[in-house]
Amino acid sequence: MSFTFPALAVAGALLASLPIVIHLLNRRRRRRVAWAAMDFLLQSDRKNRTWVRLSEWLLLAARVVAIALAGLLAATPTTLDLLKGYFGQQRARHVVLLDDTCSMQRRGAGGSAWDEALGAVERLADAARQSGDELLVVRYADTSVGGDVATLVGSTPAGESSSGVATPTSLQVTNASASPSDGLDRAIALCEAAPPGVPAYAYVVSDFAETALRADGASRLDALSDKTAGLVLAVCGDAAATGNLAIESVNLAPGPLASGVETRLVIEVVNHSIEPAPAVALSLRRNGQPLTALEVGPFGAGERVAVETPVTFMGIGPHAIEATLPADRLPADDQGWLAVDIAASQPVLLVDDQPKAIESRVFAAALRPIGATRSGWAPRRVERLASDDLAGAAAVMLLDIERLSDADTQRLRDYTADGGGLLMVLGPRTDAGWFNQRIASAVAGEPPLTPWRLGPATSGPVAEPGRPVISVVDHPAVRVLAGKQNGFLPLVRLLAQRRLATDDDVAALRQVTTSPSAETPSYEVLARRLDGQPLLVESHYGAGRVLGLMTTAATGSGGSEPWSNLATLPIFPVLVNDITGWLAQERLRPRAEPIVAVASDTPPRSSLLRWDAADGLMEATPLGPSATLTPATPGVYRRVLGGVEEPLFAAQVSPAESDLRSASIAVLRQRWGDVARVSSADELFRDAPTPASRGPLYACAAALLGLLVGERWLAYRNSYVQSAARRGGAV
C-alpha cells in the first residue's frame, strides 16, 4: 500500500506503541503492601480476574488501533489499481487503441474526454517505463489513413513503420469520423506478433460512442480479447452528459447561383439531447464579413430546426458563408460552412424544334424578364442536344418537341442520371409512340427515363366561374399555386392536355423513387385536375429530377388556340423560375463533405487549397501519394488532383460525431465484463485517491469513531474514568 503522506503513516505507527509503553511503565511503579482489610477485595478480584484482564487488554488494543487508524487517515492511503498486476511480473507488450475521433473533444466538468485519455496513456507509459515493458499506441483515425504506430516506450516492432519514440502530448485528437475496425485489426496484429514468451495486454481508450461500436467493431473487440493476456476498456467522458447543439448543414434554397441575385440561405441545427434546449444566437459571416445574426430554436428533445435568411453574392468566383453557434460540449460542430462558385448566370437549354418557337419564347421571357430585374438564368433555344451544351446546363426543357434522335436521347439520359433536371412539356406535337418506346421504356439495358407512359390527348375540364379546375400539393416547384385559398388557381384554364397511359393513371403519391434501378419506380403528382387527371408529375432518374407537364403554355394543335392560358397569367414567370430552380438544385447544389478518415491514392501534382477570407485560396502542403484527400479542419477547400482543379467544397464535422450518446460503464461491463476489465480512464494508475478509493477511507474513519466510543466505555467500565456524580460526592 502506498500513501500520499508516508511520514504521517510512520508517525502513526510510532504513536500506536505509546499506550503499550505507558502500560509497562505503570506496572513498574506498583508496590505490594500487606493490608488485612483488603483481603476480601482480593478474593473478589480472584473471582473476576478473567474478565478484568480481558477488558484491560481490550482497552489497550482499542487505544493502540485508534492511534494507528488516525495516522493511517492522516497519511491518506491510495488504493492499488487492479492493473498493477499487468506490470512488473515479467517483460510484456502493451498495446493501446486510442480513440482520436472528433467526439473525443467532448467537454465535461473535469475537462475533455481527450484530456482523460491522454492522462491514462501517460500513466500507462510511466508504469511501462518503470517495469521495462513495451508500450505501443494505435489510433482510430490515424490508422484508417495509413498512419504509423506510435511507440511510447520501447522499440518499434519489426515490420511496423514508426516516426520514432513519441510522447503522450504529441498525440493529437482529430476532427474526423472513423470506424474502430481498422484500429482493432492493427491492435490484434500487434498482440499476435508479440515475441515468444512475452504476454500482450491491450487497452481500448475511448468514449465508446454508440455509433462507433457496431457489429463489426464488437466482433473485433471479442477477437482482441482472445489474443491478449488481458483486455481493458477505459471509458473517457461522462456518458450521461449528451447535450449538444450541432450545425448539421448550411445550404441554399432552389434557385440560380448567380451574381447579384438574391437567394435563401437555409441552416439546419440539431439538438442531440434527450432534453429540450433554449433558443441560441446564430452568427453569420459572408466572405469573412459579419451578417445579421439569427435566432434559432427553441429545440425539443432531438429536434431539428431550420432557419432561413436572404443572402446575395456579389461578383463571380468563390464565395463562402460561415455559420457559428455558441460554444457548447463539442465546439468542433458549432461551425458550419457553405462554399459556392458564383457565375454571372446559369444556362438553361430550351429544346424547341418548331419554326416559330412560340413555346420557347414564352419560357425564355419568363426566365429572363425585360428590365433591371435579374433572374440569374440564361435561357438558350436549341433544336438538338449537343454534349458541350449539356455539360454546362443547369436544366433542360423539352418544349413540345416531336422526337429526339437516339443519340440525343442517350445524351439526355446521361445528363439526367448525373444530376441534371429535365422538364418535358408534352403537347399536341409530341409523338406518343416515340416517347413510350425511347423515353418510357428500357433501352440497351438502361431503365426507363420516366416510370409513366404517355397516352392520347383529351379535352380540358369544364370551368365553373370562380372555381379552380386544378389542385396542387405543397411542393417547392408549385409553391406559387399552393394553398386552398390561393387566388391564382381559379384563373387557370385548360383547353386540352395529354393523358397518361391507361394503366398509369393512378400515381403513388409522395413515393418518388430516387434510384432508376428500383424495382417499383413511382412518381408524384404535383398538380392534377379536379377529376383526378394528372397535370404535372415528377419522377427521379439517377441523381436527376424529371418533371412532365401534360399541357402547353402557349401553343395548340396546328396553330389553333393554346392548350392552356398559363403563359398569360401574371404568376407564370414565378412558376417557371420555381420549376427551373427545383430542376437545377442537384446540379447547382453546393458541395459539402464530412470529415472522414479514409485512405486514398493521391495522383502526382495534387494539393489542397483552403479558402481564406483575406487572401483567397491559399495552397497547402502538396499531397503525397498516401495523403488523405479529406481536410483536417472544417472550412472551405478546393482540391487539385493531377493538376486539375475540382469544384469548391465545404468540409464539416460528420453528423455521427455530433451524437454524443455513449455506452455507460455499466452497459460495457454487462456486454464485455467476462472478457475485459472495464473502468473509467480517469481512474487508471492514479497515484492520488480517486472517487473509487475513498470508500476504504470512509470505512477507516467510521472504524476510528467506533473505537473511540468503545475505548471510553471500557475505560468507564474498568473504573479508570469516574462519573461526575461520583467525583462530586467524594470526601
Q: Of 236 and 4, which is predicted with more confidence?
A: 236
pLDDT greater than 70 at residue 510: no
Which residue type is seen at 211? T
Give the rounded distance of the alpha carbon of 584 from its chain centre. 29
* Buried/exposed 563-580: b ≥16 CB within 10 Å, e otherwise: bbbbbebebbbebbbbbb
Same domain, 305 and 335: yes
Q: Which residues contact 665 (CB under 8 A, 6 or more apart)?
A: 235, 239, 678, 679, 680
Q: Residue 28: which pLDDT band, with cuts at 50, 70 and 90?
A: low
Same domain, 282 and 386: no
Query: 3-class SS at 421?
Result: strand
Give the number of domains in the chain. 5
* Nearest CA-CA partner of 346 in 555, 589, 168: 589
Same domain, 383 and 515: yes
Same domain, 551 and 583: yes
Same domain, 188 and 291: no
pLDDT greater than 60 at residue 255: yes
The arithmetic mean of pLDDT across residues 359-383, rounded, is 89
pLDDT greater than 90 at residue 128: no
CB 469 within 8 A of CB 461: yes
Q: Residue 76: which pLDDT band, with cuts at 50, 70 and 90?
A: low
CB 351 within 8 A of CB 383: yes
pLDDT greater than 70 at residue 79: no
Any bridge partners for residue 681, and if so which?
A: none
Which residue type is seen at 695? G
Per-residue confidence (pLDDT) for residue 614, from 0 to 100: 67
pLDDT greater than 50 at residue 731: no
CB 174 within 8 A of CB 102: yes
pLDDT greater than 50 at residue 689: no
Q: Of 154 and 164, which is predicted with more confidence?
A: 154
Domain hosting residue 712, numbered range: 2-79+693-729
Same domain, 270 and 231: no
The arithmetic mean of pLDDT across residues 545-552, rounded, is 95
Domain boundary among 588, 618, 636: 588
Q: Which residues contact 91 (CB under 8 A, 6 or more apart)?
A: 131, 132, 133, 134, 198
pLDDT greater than 50 at residue 513: no
Per-residue confidence (pLDDT) for residue 686, from 0 to 100: 60
Cis preceding linkage at 278, omega within 30: no
Percent of the chain, pLDDT > 70? 80
Same domain, 598 and 582: no
Which residue type is seen at 1? M
CA atoms of 354 and 366, how far apart (whole Å)? 19
pLDDT greater than 90 at residue 370: no
Per-residue confidence (pLDDT) for residue 688, from 0 to 100: 42
CA atoms of 184 and 228, how far apart (whole Å)? 13
Residue where the block lists cell 439495358: 445
CA atoms of 258 and 374, how far apart (whole Å)? 9
CATH number at residue 554: 3.40.50.880
What is 349-415 written as a DSSP string?
A: EEE---SS-HHHHHHHHHHS-SSS---SEEEEEESS--HHHHHH-SEEEEES-S---HHHHHHHHHH
Q: Which residues contact 263 (CB under 8 A, 6 or more apart)?
A: 252, 253, 255, 256, 257, 310, 311, 312
Pairing state between β 111-112 and 107-108: antiparallel
Q: Of 401-415, 453-467, 468-482, 631-645, which one has max mean pLDDT?
A: 401-415
Query: 3-class SS at 181?
Result: helix
Q: Residue 511: which pLDDT band, with cuts at 50, 70 and 90?
A: very low
CATH number at residue 321: 2.60.40.10
pLDDT greater than 70 at residue 507: no
Half-sphere exposure in the Cβ direction for 548 (13 Å, CA): 29
Query: 3-class SS at 197?
Result: coil
Per-residue confidence (pLDDT) for residue 543, from 0 to 100: 92
Per-residue confidence (pLDDT) for residue 693, from 0 to 100: 46
pLDDT digits (tens, 9 = 90+) for 377-407: 999 999 888 888 899 999 999 999 999 999 9
Query: CA–CA distance from 133 to each of 80, 115, 513, 535 (Å)?
Result: 19, 24, 59, 77
Per-residue confidence (pLDDT) for residue 517, from 0 to 100: 43
Helix (H) or strand (E) holding 127: helix 113-131
Any bridge partners for residue 609, and if so which?
A: 619, 638
CATH number at residue 112: 3.40.50.410
Burial (0-12, 13-18, 19+ Cβ within 10 Å), 598: middle
CA atoms of 640 and 629, how far apart (whole Å)? 10
pLDDT digits (tens, 9 = 90+) for 302-356: 999 999 999 999 999 999 999 999 999 999 999 999 999 999 999 999 999 988 8
Which is it for the CA torsion 341, 345, 351, 353, positive or negative? negative
Per-residue confidence (pLDDT) for residue 243, from 0 to 100: 80
pLDDT greater than 80 at residue 478: yes
Same domain, 320 and 464: no
Supply φ then ψ for residue 112, to 5 degrees.
Answer: -90, 160
pLDDT greater than 60 at residue 116: yes
CA atoms of 703 and 717, how far apart (whole Å)? 21
Same domain, 212 and 249: no
The arithmetic mean of pLDDT across residues 181-201, rounded, is 89
Q: Of 641 and 547, which is predicted with more confidence?
A: 547
Domain boundary among 588, 608, 633: 588
Q: Which of 203-207, 227-231, 367-371 has the lowest mean pLDDT?
A: 367-371
Mean of the per-residue pLDDT values for the chain?
82
CA atoms of 183 and 200, how far apart (whole Å)? 16
Per-residue confidence (pLDDT) for residue 680, from 0 to 100: 87
Per-residue confidence (pLDDT) for residue 582, from 0 to 100: 96
- 3-state helix vs strand vs coil in the chain, percent to 5: 35, 25, 40
Q: Of 353 and 9, which is predicted with more confidence?
A: 353
Same domain, 128 and 212: yes
Same domain, 227 and 86: yes
Pairing state between β 111-112 and 346-351: unpaired
Beta strands in 164-315 (DSSP E): 200-206, 230-235, 245-252, 263-271, 280-286, 289-296, 304-311
Total Cβ atoms within 10 A of residue 512: 19
pLDDT digits (tens, 9 = 90+) for 30-42: 566 666 666 666 6
* Nearest CA-CA partner of 286 in 314, 306, 316, 249: 314
pLDDT digits (tens, 9 = 90+) for 591-629: 999 998 877 777 787 888 888 866 666 666 666 665 677
Same domain, 122 and 268: no
Q: Which of 106-110, 377-381, 517-521, 659-663 has the lowest mean pLDDT?
A: 517-521
Per-residue confidence (pLDDT) for residue 41, from 0 to 100: 63
Q: Which of 48-57, 118-127, 258-267, 496-505 has the lowest mean pLDDT?
A: 48-57
Domain boundary among 342, 373, 391: 342
* Nearest CA-CA partner of 312 in 292, 329, 330, 335: 292
Which residue type is seen at 320? A
